[in-house]
Structure 1
Amino acid sequence: MDDDLDDMDRDTLIGEVKKLRAGIRAHRDTTGHDLCWHHPDLWGLLPEKIEPAIAVPPWPKFIRGCIRYRQSLDEQAPDAAVHDKEFNG
Structure 2
Amino acid sequence: MIHDLGFDCSDGFHEYAIKWDPNWIEWWIDGKMIKRVVMVENEGFHEKPMFLYASVWDASYIDDARWTGPYIGCNAPYVCEYTIHF
Instruction: Say yes or no: TM over 0.5.
Output: no
Structure number with higher strand proportion: 2
Question: Which one scores higher on RCO, CA 8 angstroms, separation ≥ 6?
Answer: 1
Bigger Rg, which one: 1
TM-score by length of 1: 0.28
